[in-house]
Structure 1
């Protein structure tokens, strides 16, 4: 497809990278000539220097033939204007990034009145992911399918865990747990395991199950799965606002430490049920005074990655609570993964994930639709949910007779609300929602899992 991206910041450049890898023709627009040159060269895309809300600039970028325009500049209003002009000039879908909390209660109105295909709020999306983890702190990350009926949970096998040295198939026979192991990350390798695969300490394991069965599994392996009762957030930006709002809604006590006095006053008005502390979140004495050693969860959400990493390392040394670390730019994944940072949240990747999911849905073939998409294991694997149409090639064939590609697993079938853990004799039928996990990236249709 022909896709135009307006804004080459963190999210825009990430989108250019991922969508170019998916084989789309990309054009990028930004007012910064140097950034346009870097992004267009790196991702083999057309670069246009100019204001993305300009009719002439959009025409130069190819709006008249474009299928989709994505506006992710630093200004909500500019993003909306870009999309409005694109709708008038070209016959394309539009996606706008809108971050300001002022618009959060008007998103549906804005989307409908401006004819937008999608409105994405990176901070709100990241806050939702953090909230899921804090409600289930045993997990590193949680992705949801089937409107929350099924969850994909990542967790680290701790030293001394009863999972150490048992095979995948023994989880069902010895622990009597109805969960499916989807992936195992060991060192730098991501594995789709078979039943004979032996789990080891320090493995990062992904399981898929209903929420109830996941809770039962974590209880049986001796890991606490109760929601946290309180949270300490460092930094009072938009992410902290959205997160605090969600946590308070679940009855979790929230304390925010923010250095800027004016921002503290704003947060006090927006979040009357939260405790807002005006102070330096990097001050160890202040953190101790505010109870870091007793807090059940700690989230470093400042605008500086290095500060967030150091804060989380300090918190890890002082509390046994759940640690959350926001990272925007740092590219040293191998270093970050060896640090005790708890759950690492990348808002730009979460945003790109939602948009790539939408693009794949636009690209659907006849047999099935991509309903949900999550990039997992640092983009080395994907979990996809497909809706099965009547023309799908897989209907009526037992799974054990399907000529499946390597390195994938059919994890779950949702049949009219009934969650099925697939076995060899099970067949896919029209109307099913099928979840597949694979290290083969870029599937557009459920039929892509077949050889030939």
Structure 2
């Protein structure tokens, strides 16, 4: 597959790194020669220094034979223009990153009239992920499948749960909750577990369940399942705007602390029901004065990763709030994950997963289609949702009789809106969507779950 990426910032780099594993020929376009050189040192790709909205530049990049053009520069308008020119010059699918809230209500118009295949809004996607976490604060991470009917929830096993030393089969039998343990991260290794896997305090465990069953499970082990009632957000950027709108719709009261006075005035006009405070969100006295010690959620969304991490560390010492920090730079994500600062949101990973999902869907056969894709277990495994379009070697045969690949779970079946954890005698049928969790990366079609 021929893919052109215009704009090689954080998102462009993350995309290029992941797409090079997808058996794709990648061409990178950026106005900075230093950026192109740096990327080519790490990635096997052709690099072109130039303006991605220039016809000459796109022709040099091979637009006439390209399958997909992805525009992820820092400018929404530039991204849309790149896609528009690509449509007129070649015959490829186009994906644009569009972040400005002004365009949020015009997405359908942009896609229909300008011919853009897919619009990605990292800030909106990040805000949606944060709002899910504040609805269910016990989870460290929540990913959704089957249009919200199934969720993958990640949580840390604490001593008060009394799960230490128990096998997964014993836990599910004792608690009688319809949940599927699909991933375990311990200090020594990460795995897609079987029923005999032993759970220990400190493990990070991911379960698949319907929202109702997940709530029942968490309630039985003693974890809080009610959404938060109030939140303090530090930083008044675009994510904060989208997040506050979502939280206000959930009847959660919100305070935003923003240093820029002009931005505070804008937010006050856009979000009249929220409390907007003009001040330095890193000021300890201000945070305490605004009720940090009493708040149920604290979200740090400044433009500085270091500030977000340290603010979460500080909040952890003075409150019992649900903590969420945004991190843009990915180089030290392993260090950050070990700090135990609650939930960490990486907008660049969210964007890359959405685009990778679309690329995989284009690459696979017409018999099935990837509806959803998430990277899990520190990027060592994937959770995918396939829509079954027609009969294939996996349909109509009991799961117990299928020769499935190792380290692969058939997690959930969604049939006519009814979701269930499949057992050995269950079959996959045309019209179903199926959730697969696997460390076998690169699945493009439902038949890829079988050993060849």
Correspondence for 1:180: 180
Correspondence for 2:230: 230
Residue 162 of structure 1 and its aligned partner are, at CA, apart by: 2.1
Q: How does 1:155-194 map to 2 (within 5 A)?
A: 155-187=155-187, 189-194=189-194
Correspondence for 2:70: 70
- Deviation readout 1:253-312 (Å, 9 max, x if unpaired): 010000010111111111111100000001000000000000000011000111111000
Residue 247 of structure 1 and its aligned partner are, at CA, apart by: 0.6
Q: TM-score, normalised by structure 2?
A: 0.99
Residue 203 of structure 1 and its aligned partner are, at CA, apart by: 0.6
Q: Is the 8 A contact 1:160 1:201 kept in 2?
A: no
Q: How does 1:95-134 map to 2 (within 5 A)?
A: 95-134=95-134
Residue 366 of structure 1 and its aligned partner are, at CA, apart by: 3.5
Q: How does 1:42-441 map to 2 (within 5 A)?
A: 42-187=42-187, 189-441=189-441
Partners in 2 of 1:150 and 1:363 — Cα distance?
A: 25
- Deviation readout 1:191-229 (Å, 9 max, x if unpaired): 111111111101100100100000000000000110001
Partners in 2 of 1:43 and 1:219 — Cα distance?
A: 46
Residue 188 of structure 1 and its aligned partner are, at CA, apart by: 5.2
Partners in 2 of 1:393 and 1:114 — Cα distance?
A: 39
Partners in 2 of 1:207 and 1:371 — Cα distance?
A: 19
Task: Report the secondary structure of 1:201's partner residue.
Answer: coil
Q: Is the 8 A contact 1:366 1:389 kept in 2?
A: yes
Any unmatched runs of 5+ in structure 2? none
Q: Is the 8 A contact 1:381 1:440 kept in 2?
A: yes
Partners in 2 of 1:303 and 1:330 — Cα distance?
A: 14
Which range moves more in the overlay, 107-116 or 223-232? 107-116
Residue 160 of structure 1 and its aligned partner are, at CA, apart by: 2.8
Q: Is the 8 A contact 1:236 1:263 kept in 2?
A: yes
Partners in 1 of 2:414 and 2:158 — Cα distance?
A: 31
Residue 415 of structure 1 and its aligned partner are, at CA, apart by: 1.0
Residue 419 of structure 1 and its aligned partner are, at CA, apart by: 1.2
Any unmatched runs of 5+ in structure 1? none
Residue 105 of structure 1 and its aligned partner are, at CA, apart by: 1.2
Residue 40 of structure 1 and its aligned partner are, at CA, apart by: 2.5
Residue 45 of structure 1 and its aligned partner are, at CA, apart by: 0.5
Q: TM-score, normalised by structure 1?
A: 0.99
Q: RMSD of the alignment, in Å?
A: 0.9
Q: How many residues align?
A: 452
- Deviation readout 1:7-55 (Å, 9 max, x if unpaired): 0000011001111111111001000001011113311101010000000
Residue 389 of structure 1 and its aligned partner are, at CA, apart by: 2.3
- Return structure 1 stretches of 4+ with deviation > 3 angstroms: none
Partners in 1 of 2:144 and 2:325 — Cα distance?
A: 21
- Deviation readout 1:360-382 (Å, 9 max, x if unpaired): 11112143111110111221111
Q: Is the 8 A contact 1:373 1:384 kept in 2?
A: yes
Partners in 2 of 1:230 and 1:86 — Cα distance?
A: 46
Residue 330 of structure 1 and its aligned partner are, at CA, apart by: 4.2
Partners in 1 of 2:236 and 2:418 — Cα distance?
A: 42
Partners in 1 of 2:205 and 2:350 — Cα distance?
A: 20
